[in-house]
Structure 1
Amino acid sequence: MRGLVVVGVDGSASSLAAVEAAVREARWRGAGLRLVHAFIWPAMHVPLGRSQLGPPEGGMRNMVERLLTEAEERARSMAPEVEISRAVVTGDALTVLEAQSRAAELLVVGSRGMGGFVGLMVGSTAVHLAAHGRCPVLVVREQGERSGPIVMGVDGSSAGAGAVDFAFTEAALREAGLVALHAWTNWNAPMPEPQDVTMPYANGLESMAAQEERLLSQALAGYQETYPDVSVKREVVHGGTREALIEASRKAQLLVVGARGRGGFAGLLLGSVSQAMLHHAHCPVAVVRNPDNSR
């Protein structure tokens, strides 16, 4: 069965950037592209046709058709071989796009839409979908470095395994290098037993560093054999995860993170690190939830 990439379209500059990213993803994956507009006005009983005193092309329904046509024309100019469909679905963007994500292999949205508040770096729709989408969600922020690597945040948790799968697949599709970055501090890593009681703290740090190196190796085990053409650079950083990933994103074409990591609180669908990346990364961000946590 052919895959499907879904992109939210609302006419904003951010959503048009998302359309461009989505058509590239569809082309790389050999998937179809669906342009979706959440049409809230019928539910609010707003007149949809043109006013009798207005121009023939006026009215809410005609406006929606125009913005979808603009999005489709842009997508076709980039990849005429991609099969494109359009859907206008009554409802709010959160509900409509979450439902659409059930049939998609990737959902793409802009960082802010027409309803965004001035001063917000990422709109509530993007954050909500990153937490609740039933497939990986790509949030298009800044353009990113086209020739840069894909940066993947790795914390070794079972919740982050889906992000590792996605990042390797994406690197193979894009023919890009992959940076597997793992950051740790004295507070988020378990303290091993010291080998030398005369210098317990120093030996503890050395053992912790070695343990974190092993954690990264275990998280990547087997992937190099599955993706032999993907060049992988491993980075273990003693420092804050947010700061390390934001800095790495400056030279990346894509940043991939799990929805939740090993430091998350039970019940949270979106962890603090992934939220920080949505707000502050310097490139598009893909948030990946594990299939077991996507229902």
Structure 2
Amino acid sequence: MTVHAPHITVAVDRSRYADDALAWATGQAERRHVALRILHAWVPMTAGTHDARLTTAQHILARAQTRAYDLAPDLDVTTLAPADLTGSALSTESRHTRLLVLGSRGRGGFRGLLLGSTSLTAAATADCPVVVVRRRSTQDERQRSADVVVGVDAGEPADALLDFAFEEAATRPGARLQLVYAQSMGASAWTGGRTPAPDDVTADLDQVLGAATAAWSAKYPEVEVIRQPVHAAPAGVLVDVSARVALTVVGRKLTGSLLGLRLGPVAHAVLLHAHGPVAVVPF
């Protein structure tokens, strides 16, 4: 079920990636009518650097708070400067916020790497949903719709994932929810089964998706749902669609240890290659 904490948290540093995350989080808090908390973690390496590092952290937070007010003058904005490693601070904060927003790469990232280790780790381990914001070009912004797309496992539809996706679409004027379940036509052959006819698979998947979302459609009747059973690799479909929508949503199981970080291969691939913001929802 969606976390209903009183605020959204965005982590900032002095990078342009953090600026993108701040702008996205500010708009999100305004749409959801909740407060915004801006976080910057810092670590005093030696006793002599304590005051200087704290001053730098306060300066970063003050700049970010001013920018948030410029974007949304009536928003309730607070700041937090924990003296802690960034990963540890984000982990702690994820237990107290409804949503954690991060840039795709911080100042410590490698040139050309689309997703920094801090963002990847937070997306894979946080207790709350995490949104990783990736900058788009002006042309990308003009081409995208307000829609939200969510990748769903029809064999194991997750309430938390659907709740988040439907609520996201409901907060965005004119947004539809594109519900994607992608399956390779040859998947059953790997287990010794026959390869089904495309029309049979489409009909079966559409029926499963309709049943999985009936309760959420009743809860959010204003959200138009587009069910898209497709016959392709799930990650590739979601990455392709991410270029044309406002937000791509994927799930992450709270149990298990896929890729060492409880992050499945589809979510991992979407985080690495998506063309816009990605939300990772634990369930």
When normalised by structure 1's length, the TM-score is: 0.84
Q: CA distance change for structure 1 residues 20 and 66 in 2, over 3 Å: closer, same or farther?
A: same
Alignment match, 1:254? 247
Superposition RMSD in Å: 2.7
CA distance in structure 2 between the aligned counterparts of 1:68 and 1:186, rounded to whole angstroms: 50
Equivalent pairs: percent with the same residue? 35
Q: 1:272 to 1:44 in 2, by over 3 A?
A: farther
Distance in 2 of aligned mates of 1:189 and 1:258: 23
Change (3 A) 1:142 1:157: farther
* Alignment match, 2:224: 231
| Equivalent of residue 102 in structure 1, options 85, 88, 95 | 95
The change in CA–CA distance for 1:202 and 1:277 in structure 2 (over 3 A counts) is closer
Are the equivalent residues in 1 in contact too, given 2:259–2:265 (CA < 8 A)?
no
Counterpart Cα distance in 2 of 1:208 and 1:153 = 17
Q: Kindly state the Cα deviation for residue 218 of structure 1 after the two structures are TM-superposed.
A: 2.4
Q: Return 5+ residue gaps in structure 2 as ranges.
A: none
Q: Indicate yes or no: 2:9 matched with 1:6.
A: yes
- Following the alignment from structure 1 to structure 2, what is the Cα–Cα distance between the partners of residues 289 and 191? 29
Q: Distance in 2 between matches of 1:160 and 1:136?
A: 13
Query: More displaced, 10-19 or 210-219?
Result: 210-219
Instruction: Specify whether residues 202 and 166 from structure 1 end up closer, same or farther in structure 2 by C-alpha distance, changes over 3 A only.
Output: closer
1:119 Cα shift?
2.4
Asked if the contact 2:17–2:135 (Cα under 8 Å) also holds between the matched residues in 1, the reply is no
Matching residue within 26, 35, 40 for 2:38: 35
Q: Is the 8 A contact 2:10 2:21 kept in 1?
A: yes
Runs of 4+ in 1 over 6 A off after TM superposition: 190-194
Aligned equivalents of 2:80, 2:50: Cα separation in 1: 17
Match of 1:178 in 2: 177
Instruction: Kindly state the Cα deviation for residue 167 of structure 1 after the two structures are TM-superposed.
Output: 0.7
Is 1:20 the counterpart of 2:23? The answer is yes
The answer to whether structure 1 residue 138 and structure 2 residue 131 are counterparts is yes
| Secondary structure class of the residue paired with 2:153 | coil
Of 202, 208, 211, 1:209 maps to: 202
Equivalent residue in structure 1 for 2:233, among 220, 225, 240:
240
Write the distance in 1 (CA, Å) between the matches of 2:50 and 2:257.
45
Q: C-alpha distance in 1, partners of 2:195/2:97?
A: 49
Query: How many residues are matched?
Result: 273
Structure of greater Rg: 1
| CA spacing shift, 1:65–1:248, aligned 2, 3 Å | same
- Measured at CA, do residues 193 and 213 of structure 1 come closer, stay the same or move farther in structure 2, by a change above 3 Å? farther
- 1:117-150 deviations in whole A, cap 9, x for unaligned? 1221100111111111111001001346464311
One-letter amino acid of the counterpart of residue 3, structure 1: P
**How far off is 1:188 after superposition?**
4.3
1:189–1:211 distance in 2 versus 1, CA, 3 Å: farther
Question: 1:46, CA displacement in angstroms?
Answer: 5.4
Deviations 1:167-223 (A, max 9, x none): 1001101121111111001454599999xxxxx6555x5543332222222221222
Q: 1:61 and 2:54 equivalent?
A: yes
- Check whether the contact 1:192–1:207 (CA below 8 A) recurs between aligned residues: no
| Counterpart in the other structure of 1:151 | 149
Question: Does the Cα contact within 8 Å between 2:42 and 2:53 map onto a contact in 1?
Answer: no
State the TM-score, normalized to the length of structure 2: 0.87
| Counterpart code for 1:156 | A
**Distance in 2 of aligned mates of 1:190 and 1:160:** 26
Structure 1: which 5+ residue stretches go unaligned? Answer: 50-58, 195-199, 291-295
